[in-house]
Amino acid sequence: MKDYRASHLDPETARRYDEEIYRTGGYDEWVDAIEGRLLNSVVDRYFPSRPFSYLDFACGTGRVMARIAPRAATAVGVDVSKAMLDRARDRVPRATLVLGDIAAEPSLLDRRFDLITSFRFLVNAQPDMRRDTLRRLGEVLLPDGLLVCNVHANRYSARLLSEPARIARLVERRNALSLRAATAALHDANLVVRDVTGYAFVSRSLYQLLGRGMAEAAEARLHALRPLCHFGTHLLLVCERRNRTGGRRRSRSRPGQPAAHAARCLHPRRAAACSTLAAAVASVVATSGSDRRAAPREALRGSPYVRP
């Protein structure tokens, strides 16, 4: 596996993130918009009125941080890449940006935070770095705080059958992580996954076929199907400390499902069944979408897998 730190030091990588990967109108920019809505809903639920301190680990060019920092009392971003931080500074000028590796240099963070986010890290980092970094993040998380992270390449996602070539590579794929493996890594850092939300059920190829409007409608329908909630290509994990003693009450609104339920769903046969269902829905959407002038709701009507 390529070293995570080294892969992000090149200034060209920072440029590609902003200008190519997350270019306006592209698939990744669309997924980023979904992520932004989910993140804001987490803040609305857990920090509805009180000020909170915020840390974005591996903040990169500030894409995630720019959504939350304006709502926080204080905001800190940390990354190993100076080129990334230079771009982040334009997005979040009032945030404190720290250059360095918190696993190798624990003293870089000398205080604790109410909310920590970490995106596109769990999958990309090699196991020893993932372990050491999560442990450090657990140490700087306040007893009543939350860690929100994502798995941006879910090994057992509904994408498998929508892009069949991936099935043959499933066993040897290294740039993917199952929910079970992510939960175990977080547990090792004294963190517990409390809520899981799947998203990006619509694959890149299907997004290109349908266009943004139809993709939005299909994504909303698939997101509403409870059996698929842990099989999005991306997973948003809301975590807290295992020995948490704080008094904030956990919201009963449904951002996802408890992690214990997620673990029960992760048997490969069940994953395959859910993937089959997702592929069937995607097929209905693609067929119904042949008339691009049809409204998304009309195009989706009639599927036996979609609630009226």
Q: Which of 9, 11, 68 is nearest to 37 (CA)?
A: 68
Q: pLDDT at residue 211 above 70?
A: yes
pLDDT band at 235 (very low <50, low <70, confident <90, very high): very high
Cα–Cα dist 259/83, whole Å: 36
> Domains of the chain by range and CATH?
4-300 (3.40.50.150)
pTM above 0.75, yes or no: yes
Per-residue pLDDT tens over the stretch 46-89:
999 889 999 999 999 999 999 999 999 999 999 999 999 999 99
Q: Is 266 helix (H, G, I), strand (E, B) or coil?
A: coil
- φ and ψ at residue 57, rounded to 5 degrees: -85, 140
